[in-house]
Amino acid sequence: MWHFSGKVAFVTCGSRGIGRAIATALGRGGATVVIGYAGNEEAAKETCRLIESAGGRAEARRFDVADSAACQAAIEETVKAHGGLHVLVNNAGVAIDQLLVRLKDEDLERQLAINLKAAFYLCRAAARPMMKQRQGSIVNLGSVVGEMGNVGQTAYAATKAGLVGFTKSLARELASRNIRANVVTPGFIDTDMTRDLPEEVRAKMLESIPLGRLGSAEEVAAVVAFLASDAASYVTGEVIRVNGGMLM
């Protein structure tokens, strides 16, 4: 367990899946965790309950990560309410699978907005309070697909690959203020989305994973918590893969 006593963390899409596991892991370390969510209030409340049960403090904020002004307001309100911001985890993401020749403009724009632009908006908003503190850790959630590509996911892969270049540049910009920025790229993780896949699709996925199983949200969260913690104080600009050996 990593220690976050006295730290304030902000996690987007924290109401379920990987985001919930990350928020809970940070709470277990003693953090005050603010989770962003899009619409499922009951799921957000459940995440808050889990954070508090783990030993942290929790708050949920509903806002649209694709809205620049809403992102700015969410960060400013968090800093005002809790006295600072030490950890930002950009976990929000959406995949709209389609072959390039059939991909609609609006589906491309939605993935760009949620997967890539939202990280720009939130990191820009978080950078100022972190710079004043001269301390901070930013963890952006990418994907194995952003590194290796996948049929039917040209747009999704492009947004996740873009996140890597963005994060490496951000790490260079903010290093002098003791602010670190890293990327975690999960592979196939056991979430609601993968559980709904047909059995033959799941079987084919498993064939591509040397460890022979899907990862868990908690395994991703453990790596994010490490990068967010002081234990990773000399780690910045890195891409950490959590994919069971699918891509080495």
Catalytic site positions: 156
DSSP 41-95: HHHHHHHHHHHHHHT-EEEEEE--TT-HHHHHHHHHHHHHHHS---EEEE-----
Q: How far apart are CA 129 and CA 172, in angstroms?
A: 18
CA separation, residue 62 to residues 36, 70, 199 (Å): 6, 9, 35
SS3 state at 155: helix
SS3 state at 140: strand
Q: How far apart are CA 63 and CA 14, in angstroms?
A: 12
Q: How far apart are CA 180 and CA 36, in angstroms?
A: 21
